[in-house]
Structure 1
Amino acid sequence: MDRRRFFTKAGAAGLGATAALATPAIAQENPKITWRLTSSFPKSLDILWAASTDIAKSVEEATDGNFKIETFAAGEIVPALQAADAVSSGSVEMAHTCAYYYIGKDQTFALGTAVPFGLNARMTNAWFSMGGGNELFNEFLTGYNLYALPAGNTGAQMGGWFRKEINTLEDLKGLKMRIAGLAGAVMQKVGVTPQQIAGADVYPALEKGTIDATEFVGPYDDMKLGFYKVAKYYYYPAWWEGGPAVHAFFNLDKFKGLPKSYQRILTDACANANANMLARYDAANAAALRKLVADGALLRPFSKEILDACHTAAKEVFAEINAKNANFKKIYDSQQAFKNDAYLWMQIAEYSFDTYQMIQQRQGTL
């Protein structure tokens, strides 16, 4: 036999056998999957909404179109405040939402987003990724068949819109305010009646007088929502949301069932969306704040009296919850320890540098 022809045929046969073996293996490692993601946010709040589409785009591109995520805005599949419930039950595979919307189930959920006088944005990201936060939070979530990854952060928020000026603690008494998470429990201690209302429903409630005040996020979103038209006093800061995390929630069984490569791709996509959201808000809020003030918004800081009273009330709320909720205490203690160390460092270089730069900005010498 011609040796050349023999090796050519043998090589072709070998390649055919390799291809026959490899194709099913590759298909198994990179299956075609379509998931549905339900968001707690309307498309009109484009920075919040963009995190969902960022994740979907990253995943699809990284898998050559094999793993697709269909994104749905609040209300298209389930109401905004039921997004995590739909994931837990398996109605959808994932959601983009805030953990503290679900404190009615367990107040521990609040620690996944933000608690009064808690972590700022950088600390939040560092605690989740390097301080054991992801592990602690997901340990808690297993009881709800959920797994979560940070997929957004707004940075420190504004304290909200009020129909009247708030100068003293007495001015807060009797106010009806849309406010989420444990901040509502703190506000209740100083005389406010908290209301939890989905974002799309806040403006009508404020306009009709159903509520007297509202907080939401910050200048960019607040400008879109038009709150300045019905409540002109714009307070800062939101001491209840110094750096709130927004999460991608996954059905735990569905996430575990993914190939390891897809799990990694999803994790990286969420990290990208997390960074993008904070960058978008940092880029957009300054111009929005200027426009709000030009349109009649009156900026006001919360007084030290109000901040001190709320801080005291917050510690009372935490003590009450810690005494009866072991899950909350475990995560809260971790955040507190991390915060104490983080502020020890930040007040040295970060605070000094930022304070000097802010003075230059005010003087026009930056």
Structure 2
Amino acid sequence: MDRRKFLKTSALGGAAAATTGALAAPAYAQGNRTLTMVTSWGRGLAGVHDAAERAATMITEMSGGSLTVDLKAAGELVGAFEVFDAVTAGQADMYHAADYYFVGQHPGYAFFTAVPFGMTAQELVNWYYFDGGMELHDELGQIFGLKSFLAGNTGAQAGGWYSREITSPEDFNGLKFRMPGLGGKALGKLGASVQNLPGSEVYQALASGAIDGTEWIGPWADEKAGFQEITKTYYAAGFHEPGAGLSLATNREVFESLSPAHQRIIEIAAGECHQWNLAQFLANNGAALQRLQASGVKVLEFPDSVWDAFGTASREVLDENMGDELFKKIHDSAMASMKSSSGWIKQSSGVYVAQRDRVLG
């Protein structure tokens, strides 16, 4: 079905529902209720599984047990990349994942995780809570019968692990590399053979030579995954995920069947989880980076020529999707908010941190 036609039809259906709702109050489920949460994370994956577990626990505890979340890690009910379809189809009640895994459903989902050369974690929440991002997440979710909230953030992600050093854009030609989302599409434009693997499968793929390199998250999660056992070439700064958000999405019919109090608990638990998870990653990354370096890992930066190539490819990928009306709407909103936020951040905390490092050494 054409998306515009779908939206028009949905709007008419929504109007009818609103009319019906005016005649009769909604009936909320009575007593205790269990919601099944599927996730894109293998059980125990550092940070990301923790975020899903935190959200599930918070919802259960805040509701006093009247709303219990039964968490299923990747593969326990459905596969890591099948959670979106499972929840939209009603096979599960909610998912926890990185929404850029679902750009095949709609490319606009990338913005609620990360787009190349996009928003930092702080800029993302500025947009989400004060510049229309949450409303756009909801507008996108309505198409697929979802009610979504941000519920985790990794902070800035590393450029990744490579079997050899990258000295020019040409080094990506033929390189087998794991990178999801629009960042992966940008690498493809540089000639890379891009793979989209679930987190629990990345170590084995890198160890076996099925891939030549991978990005995962950052020093702490990467160390836990053990990539330093395979290669010692690590790029600390990446272009693809400057502040990657994670999402908690509930089947919309399920969400609307809950009491207003339970709906609010899910929203608040997701928001708390976002900030807790961001702090978890950032609190652990510095010490983990030191341990990696002590173990012989060489921490590198991409040369300017590679950054320039990343930028050109990223602009092409974004431009290719601008024909979609909703993608353009989300893109323009996010970029306007990012520009507005970054103006003050650069002049205030950006200058302060640079001066602090200079003064304190």
TM-score (structure 2 length as normaliser): 0.90
Match of 1:260 in 2: 260
Alpha-carbon separation, structure 2, partners of 1:277 and 1:360: 31
Matched, 1:337 2:327: no
The residue type paired with residue 350 of structure 1 is S
The 8 Å contact of residues 30 and 66 in structure 1, kept in 2 or not, is answered as no
In the other structure, the counterpart of 1:226 is: 226
Q: CA RMSD in A?
A: 1.5
One-letter amino acid matched to 1:33:
R
Deviation at 1:72? Answer: 1.3
Deviations 1:94-134 (A, max 9, x none): 01001110112221221221100000000111111111101
Partner residue, 1:355: 354
- 239-248 or 105-114: bigger deviation: 105-114
User: Which stretches in structure 2 are left out of the alignment for 5+ residues?
Assistant: 1-26
Equivalent residue, structure 2, for 1:67: 67
Amino acid aligned to 2:299: L
The DSSP-based 3-state class of the residue aligned with 1:71 is strand
AA matched with 1:333: D
Deviation (angstroms), 1:360: 4.6
Shift of 1:58: 1.9
Q: Where does 1:1-366 land on structure 2 (aligned, <5 Å)?
A: 31-322=31-322, 324-360=323-359, 363=361
Greater mean deviation of Cα atoms: 76-85 or 102-111: 102-111
Kept after mapping to 1: 8 A contact 2:121/2:242: yes
- The structure-2 alpha-carbon separation of the partners of 1:86 and 1:294, relative to structure 1 and needing over 3 Å to count, comes to same
Q: What SS does the aligned partner of 1:46 have?
A: coil
Provide the C-alpha distance between the structure 1 equivalents of 2:164 and 2:292, rounded to a whole number of angstroms: 17
Find the counterpart in structure 2 of residue 16 from structure 1: none
Report deviation, 1:62.
2.1
Q: Deviations over 1:61-90 (max 9, x none)?
A: 222211111111111111111111111111
Q: Which amino acid aligns with 1:47?
A: G
CA 1:266–1:207: 2 relative to 1, 3 Å? same
Question: Structure 1 residue 56: deviation in Å?
Answer: 2.3
The separation in 2 between residues aligned to 1:104 and 1:63, in whole angstroms, is 35
- Quote how far apart the aligned CAs of 1:91 are: 0.7
| Equivalent in the alignment of 2:8 | none
Q: Is the 8 A contact 1:176 1:213 kept in 2?
A: yes
C-alpha contact 1:158 1:238 (8 A) present in aligned 2: yes
CA contact (8 A) 2:126 2:337 kept: no
Q: Distance in 1 between matches of 2:338 and 2:233?
A: 31
For residues 143 and 28 of structure 1, do their structure 2 counterparts lie closer, same or farther at Cα, with a shift above 3 Å needed? closer
**Alpha carbons of structure 1 residues 194 and 62: separation in structure 2 relative to 1, 3 Å:** same
Superposed CA offset, 1:201-256 (max 9, x none): 11111111111110000011100111112121101312110011100011011001
Please tell me the residue identity of whatever aligns with 2:283: A
Residue 30 to residue 47, structure 1, CA distance change in 2 (3 Å): farther
**Aligned counterparts of 1:359 and 1:203: Cα–Cα separation in 2:** 38
- What is the distance in 1 between the residues matched to 2:98 and 2:124? 14
Q: Aligned partners of 2:257, 2:112: CA distance in 1, in Å? A: 24
Name the CA distance, whole Å, in 2 between partners of 1:28 and 1:91: 21
Aligned partners of 2:155, 2:359: CA distance in 1, in Å? 23
Determine helix, strand or coil for the equivalent of 1:242: coil
1:28 is displaced (CA, Å) by 6.4
Q: Which amino acid aligns with 1:340?
A: K
Distance in 2 (CA, whole Å) between partners of 1:80 and 1:29 is 30
Give the residue type in structure 1 aligned to 2:62: A
SS of the aligned residue for 2:47 comes to: helix
Aligned-partner SS, 1:347: helix
Return the letter of the residue paired with 1:332.
H
Question: In the aligned structure 2, how far is the partner of 1:151 from the partner of 1:63?
Answer: 18
The answer to whether the Cα contact below 8 Å between 1:30 and 1:63 also exists between their aligned partners in 2 is: no
Q: Give the gaps of 5 or more residues in structure 1.
A: 1-26
Q: Is the 8 A contact 1:36 1:72 kept in 2?
A: yes
Is the CA contact (8 Å cut-off) linking 1:131 and 1:338 kept in structure 2? yes
Please say if residues 99 and 109 of structure 1, whose CA atoms lie closer than 8 Å, have aligned partners that are also in contact. yes
Tell me, yes or no, if the aligned pair for 1:159 and 1:235 is still in contact at 8 Å: yes
Distance 1:341 1:46 in 2: 33
Highest CA radius of gyration, 1 or 2?
1
Distance 1:62 1:156 in 2: 30
| Percent of aligned pairs with the same amino acid | 35
Partner of 1:38: helix, strand, or coil?
A: strand
Calculate the TM-score normalised by the size of structure 1. Answer: 0.88
Deviation at 1:30, TM superposition (A): 6.1
